[in-house]
Amino acid sequence: MTYPLAPAGHRFGNPICGLAPYAAHEEYSRGRRFPEEPPNYRSEYQRDRDRIVHCGAFRRLEYKTQVFVNHEGDMFRTRLTHSLEVAQIGRSIARVLGLNEDLVEAVALAHDLGHTPFGHAGQEALNACMRQFGGFEHNFQSLRVVDELERRYAEFTGLNLTFETREGILKHCSLERARGLGELGDRFIKKRQPSLEAQLTNIADEIAYNNHDVDDGLRAGLITIEQLNEVALFREQLQDVRTRYPRLTDRRMIHEVVRRMINRQVSDLIETTKSSIVAAAPASCDEVRQFENRLVKFSDEMNTLHRELKQFLRKNLYTHYRVKRMTAKAAQVVTRLFEAFMTDPGLLPTDTARELRRLEHDHQEKGRALAIADYIAGMTDRYAIAEYERLFSPAHLT
């Protein structure tokens, strides 16, 4: 059950002035799961953002990989730097469209809280381990983190975020899980849309990781400028940069190209979304939720360019043999940890073992698996490697 928030117009720091009518206005929020007194000097969505920034799961993002395992180099992006980049891109777009920047920022900073160590390799391995228990979705796990796993407050479990932030975190959800989420799961069942802020953050996420994976891939030497010349979006910007700055060094040239790629996509997204909003003419955030199709989107031309870039990265970066070697090792770490803990829960740390017993009491074997998945998903790359070595390396017998 959710509780309405108090009217916010009189409070210092209220961000609603200048918001479009179709934006998420906090005075019309669907509230929090547990009632709280309104904040005095910040908005409700600012409170959400602050709780996210101060939680343990957010700090651990510093040591969770984006594409490259954390110890492979200090210059590669992590889940933390990625989340900050998504927030920056999202806020910039939200400001132009008259959307709620604070809500966009809160969703952006929380969207990867449930990611496993080792990126998608870790997620796929944990999903395989959890298949007979309903599977594992990092997106749903992010919601689980903010609703259940963060335990910092005396009066409630989780961070007790607003409905709108939780809605934005849950980008994807299976129908089975959606049926157990009440109002939050309705849109997946009814095939409806979330707020424009949630839609925006979803695309800002894609813009950030695709373009920054280009940067990291080039830095690591796994892809080359010559290969990227096959991709129209990159090629167009590269030609322009080389014409304007013929003596630019490679690193600076790459930075210049990547920032122009981002700018091109952001500009297209803004103009296309403006047109789609005018055509649909939603009068409120709730009206936005009734549409079957998203209003925040690229033009057809940019969508084609964006998809070409994604396909290039999938073919040339994410399946590069060096990345696959890393992901194979990562999958082994996650799988063996899960199997060891399922076979002997006595190997678990005290707090996790206590949670396991609580969940086992309610759900038996599924509860055991869920507690172990929570534990593994919360690990950083380096902690997972250390835990693996503690369990399986002969060097740790003494």
| 254-299 per-position pLDDT tens digit | 999 999 999 999 999 999 999 999 999 999 999 999 999 999 999 9
Distance CA 68, CA 91 (A): 27
Q: Would the pLDDT of 252 be above 80?
A: yes
Question: What SS3 class is residue 236?
Answer: helix
| 196-237 per-position pLDDT tens digit | 999 999 999 999 999 989 998 998 889 999 999 999 999 999
Lowest-confidence region among 20-24, 269-273, 313-317, 354-358? 354-358
Sequence-distant (6+) residues with CB within 8 A of 92 are 266
In angstroms, what CA-CA distances link 340 with 3, 133, 336, 343, 355?
A: 43, 17, 6, 5, 17
Q: Would the pLDDT of 360 be above 90?
A: no
How many Cα atoms occupy the beta-carbon half-sphere of 78 within 13 Å?
A: 20
Over residues 248-256, the mean pLDDT reads 92
How many angstroms from the chain centroid is the CA of residue 120?
12
| 133-147 per-position pLDDT tens digit | 999 999 999 999 999
- Res 358: pLDDT: 84
Phi and psi (nearest 5°) for 244? Answer: -75, -35
Long-range contacts of 146-155, Cβ-Cβ distance < 8 Å, separation of 24 or more: 146/52, 146/55, 146/110, 146/113, 147/33, 149/57, 149/374, 149/378, 150/55, 150/56, 150/57, 152/54, 152/55, 155/34, 155/36
Secondary structure (DSSP) of 42-109: S-HHHHHHHHHHTSHHHHHGGGSBSSS-GGG-TTS-BHHHHHHHHHHHHHHHHHHHT--HHHHHHHHH
| 45-72 per-position pLDDT tens digit | 999 999 999 999 999 999 988 665 544 4
| Percent share of the chain, pLDDT over 90 | 76
Tokens at 37, concatenated: 């007194």
- Residue 396 near residue 132 (C-beta atoms within 8 A): no
- Res 332: pLDDT: 95
Question: What SS3 class is residue 323?
Answer: helix
How many angstroms from the chain centroid is the CA of residue 15?
24
Distance CA 121, CA 334 (A): 9
Distance CA 220, CA 135 (A): 33
Distance CA 155, CA 157 (A): 7
> Residue 228: enclosing H or E segment and its boundaries?
helix 225-228
Residue 32: strand pairing partners: 3, 162
Please tell me the pTM assigned to this model.
0.91
Phi and psi (nearest 5°) for 300? Answer: -60, -40
Residue 357's pLDDT band, with cuts at 50, 70 and 90, is confident
Distance CA 160, CA 155 (A): 10
- Res 3: pLDDT: 37
What letter represents residue 348's amino acid?
A: L
- Residue 138 near residue 114 (C-beta atoms within 8 A): yes
For tokens 């920034």, the residue is 53
**What CATH number should be reported for the domain whose range is 1-228+263-297+319-398?**
1.10.3210.10
Residue 14's pLDDT band, with cuts at 50, 70 and 90, is very low
Task: Specify whether the backbone of 77 is left (phi greater than 0), alpha (psi in -120 to 50) or beta.
Answer: beta
Residue 73's pLDDT band, with cuts at 50, 70 and 90, is very low
Direct distance between the N- and C-terminal alpha carbons of the chain, in angstroms, rounded to an integer: 52
Tokens at 160, concatenated: 């007790």
Distance CA 329, CA 336 (A): 11
Distance CA 85, CA 183 (A): 30
What letter represents residue 261's amino acid?
A: M
| Percent share of the chain, pLDDT over 70 | 92
- Res 397: pLDDT: 52
Tokens at 272, concatenated: 């296309």
Secondary structure (DSSP) of 90-144: HHHHHHHHT--HHHHHHHHHHTTTTPPTTHHHHHHHHHHHTGGGT---HHHHHHH
Distance CA 338, CA 332 (A): 10
| 361-375 per-position pLDDT tens digit | 777 889 999 999 999
